Structures are given as C-alpha cells and as structure tokens.
Amino acid sequence: MSPQLWALAVAGTVVLAAACLEMFRSWRARRRAVGVTASPSSQPYILYFTGDGCTVCRTHQEPALARLNGVRIDKVDAIAERTLADRFHVYTLPTTVVMSPDGSALHVNYGYAPAPRLERQLAEARGSALRSAATA
C-alpha cells in the first residue's frame, strides 16, 4: 500500500476518533448539566453562552436566536461568568440552555443550535410547564 493510502487511513482514523470523543463529551456534559439559575421567569427562556472569540455565535447562533420572537434570552459571557458556565459544563461556544419557568435546565445544546430546534425545545418546555401547573 502506498504511503498516501496509509496516511489517508491514519488521518481518517484520527478524525473519526476525534468525532466520537466529541460526541461522548457532549453526551456526558449534557447529563451533568442539571443546574438551576436564580432568575426564574413566567415563560421558558434561553441562557445563551457566548464569548468575544466565538465566530459561530455571531454568524449563526445570534441570527437563529433573533428568529425566536418574544423569547427571553439571557446572554452570558462564558469567560467572565465562569461559575455559571461551569455549572452547565460549557465546554464549547455557543452553548444554549433552554430553561423552564422555574429556572431548571431542560435542554442543553453544545455548539450551534438552529432556530427550529430551539423552537421545538421551547414548545416542550411550555408543555411541561403547563402540565406542572395543572398538577399543582
């Protein structure tokens, strides 16, 4: 086998391993992200972790968040607010957390989350809030 094919196999293995590791880290961080914030709301809201160095935040995430009409979005600088970022195990930017009205984390999206996904998660959050209110 030529060195080029060997190199292709090695690079492919490394990239595949890195992708699997990234998926595992994302899954593990999601499981651990069960914090509550001290700022409850009457409606589900979004915690949006960003930073000055985050390009995807500006080019993709912020336009997606702008499409969510009437939703409260709490923008958090992940470097300045390190304690809050660590609470949600923010390891990449952007990270968006869909919060229930009582301030508990319902969905955590590591990396860019498109508007339809956020809308779906917000709808689920509204549904669970209504069920909680009905049973209370």
Partner 1 sequence: MSTGVVDHSALKVNQTGIVLTVLVAFVGSAFWRPALFLVPLLAIVLLLGTFAPQLALFKQLYFKVLKPRGIVKPQPVQDRPEPHNFAQGLGGVFLAVSALFIYAPLLTGDFRPGPALVIGLALALIVAVLAFVNLAFGYCLGCQIYFQLGKRGLIRAS
Nearer to partner 1, 74 or 81 (CB): 81
Decide: helix, strand or coil at residue 90. coil
Strands 45-50 and 73-77: parallel
Question: Could you list the residues that contact partner 1 (CB under 8 A)?
Answer: 2-4, 6-8, 10-11, 14-15, 51-56, 58-60, 77-80, 82, 85, 91-93, 111-112
Q: How far is the CB of 10 from partner 1 (least distance, A)?
A: 4
Nearer to partner 1, 11 or 23 (CB): 11
Nearer to partner 1, 11 or 34 (CB): 11
Q: How far is the CB of 99 from partner 1 (least distance, A)?
A: 22
Residues 6+ apart with CB under 8 A from 22: none
Cα separation, 73 vs 101, in Å, equals: 13
Q: How far is the CB of 120 from partner 1 (least distance, A)?
A: 21
Cα separation, 30 vs 90, in Å, equals: 9
Amino acid code (one letter) for 97: V
Decide: helix, strand or coil at residue 35. coil
Q: How far is the CB of 50 from partner 1 (least distance, A)?
A: 10
